[in-house]
Amino acid sequence: MSKQSIISIDIGSSSIHGVIAFYDEKTAKLEITSADTVACPDGIEAGSIIDIGEAANSIRILIEQLEKSQNAKDSWVYVSVRGSFIKTADQSDGISVTDTLVTEDIVDSVKKAVIEKAQINAKDTLIQIIPKEYKLDRLQVVPNPLSMECSYLELNSLIVTAPRSIVSNIKRACSLGMEEPIFYGYYSLGNILASKESKKLGCMLIDIGGMTTGIVVYINGIVQKILELPVGSDLITRDITKKLKTLQAESKRIKETYGAVLENETNENAEFEYTIGSAKKMSSISELINIIKPQVDMQIAYIISELKKNKVDISALAGGILLTGGGTKLPGILEAFEKPFDCGVKIATVDMNKISVSQEIVDCQIYTTAISTLYNEVKTRFAGVNTVVETSSKDGGFFGKVLGKVSEIV
């Protein structure tokens, strides 16, 4: 096999986003060639499955569209999840190293020890364990202990869990076996969005989605906190709907076409046309800003409050704030964050040295989580750890199961 097609699916607030890529084993090059989104408001809400039939059908359609666009088949597929139902907790433990040199088996053993010590609630299930740092003989802190010598290895990590029922329903909608992995969408964001220098100085990634906002905090180069907050750009759409009495789809169009956070970012005296049923109405940009800005300010205040509650020192973020996600498209969003956080804020961009992808896909912002999960898991797989869900097995693998089982579900 020279090139393998790989699809990364990100289950969002009410839509499913996906990218398809090809990995060339000879050149070790990963190239994303297409991206697509399928709306699923009747099947997904805030990242959870509310109708398995609707969700399964949308996932099948997305995979078919991505593969058809590139004349591909038998793709490997990753599924990443996010949402306020996901919980993270710090957990540490250590084990003795009898052979003095740390091997992959020993790293796996210390991870298992950490998971066992975490004593995960019976109603929850483990999604991922995120290593923060390893400590050799209770002295030296290292990011990767492989092939290093010690007699005792400790791991400080974040344990990512979610309610078992929610995870099971996601896997059923994706036709995944219960033993097959899904990935935490925010875990890998920093690998392609934040530089090593920014993470070392201390920085924060904020992914503004539809119904949730994900926050990843780096201090001294390692992940310190990951938070999922129940706020996002869909709440702006809701406020426009209430104020202008429009349908949600029309409110979303108004937000994306005319919306802004600050008046100096646009001509506030300009007017725009919108519809209520069959009637045409007019409103001003200034009135629209007066709807959007209070909601944005409220969300930023809530983010700061939650950071303080979780003992995140905002003043330590010398590397600044990186914004990503569909909610960052509003003009004036950078300035809205800069003043209350009192630090540099910029839109995060994918490191093109790590992955080949068109600027058009990157600028769309809604595919960042799918791209980062794809990069992280492909890198892990071809570093010797098999974490990719393969789809070319005898029974048709993931893709075959999606096509074969969706008729049973719906």
Q: pLDDT tens-digit profile of 272-321?
A: 999 998 899 999 999 999 999 999 999 999 999 999 999 999 888 999 99
CA separation (Å) from 296 to 180, 210, 242, 335?
38, 13, 16, 11
CB contact burial 260-273 (16+ within 10 A = b; e otherwise) = bbbeebbebeeeee
Per-residue pLDDT, 382 = 72
Instruction: Give the Cα separation of 343 and 376 in Å (integer).
Output: 28
pLDDT of the residue at 376: 87
Can you tell me the distance from the alpha carbon of 149 to that of 137, in angstroms, rounded to the nearest whole number?
Answer: 9
Q: Which residues of 105-137 are buried (b: 16+ CB within 10 A; e: fewer)?
A: ebbebbbebbbeebebeeebbebbbbbbbbbbe
What 3-state DSSP class applies to 63?
A: helix
Find where tokens 């909610």 sit: 327
Residue-by-residue DSSP string for 131-179: EEEEEETTTEEES--TT-B-SEEEEEEEEEEEEHHHHHHHHHHTT--TT
| Structure-derived torsion over alpha carbons of residues 273, 276, 281, 282, reported in degrees to the nearest 10 | -50
Q: Is 111 helix (H, G, I), strand (E, B) or coil?
A: helix
All domains in the chain, ordered by first residue: 3-83+350-409 (3.30.420), 195-347 (3.30.420.40)
pTM listed for this prediction? 0.84
Q: At what angle do helices 234-244 and 285-309 cross, to 10 degrees?
A: 140
Q: Which three-class secondary structure state does DSSP give residue 207?
A: strand
CB under 8 Å, gap of 24 or more: what pairs does 282-289 form? 283/244, 285/258, 285/260, 288/240, 288/254, 288/258, 288/259, 288/260, 289/259, 289/260, 289/261, 289/262, 289/263
What own/partner pairs with CB < 8 Å and gap ≥ 24 does 216-222 have?
A: 216/186, 216/189, 216/190, 217/307, 217/312, 217/317, 218/190, 218/194, 218/319, 219/316, 221/143, 221/196, 222/132, 222/133, 222/143
All residue ranges of the chain with pLDDT < 50 are: 1, 384-410
**In the prediction, which pLDDT does 23 show?**
86
Predicted pLDDT at 32: 93
Closest CA to 63 of 49, 79, 45, 43: 79
Count of beta carbons in the 10 Å neighbourhood of residue 146: 12
> Does residue 299 sit in helix, strand or coil?
helix
Determine the residue type at 104: E
Residues 6+ apart with CB under 8 A from 392: 74, 76
Amino acid identity of residue 116, one-letter, is: E
The whole-number pLDDT of residue 383 equals 62
3-state helix, strand, coil in the chain (%, to 5): 35, 30, 30
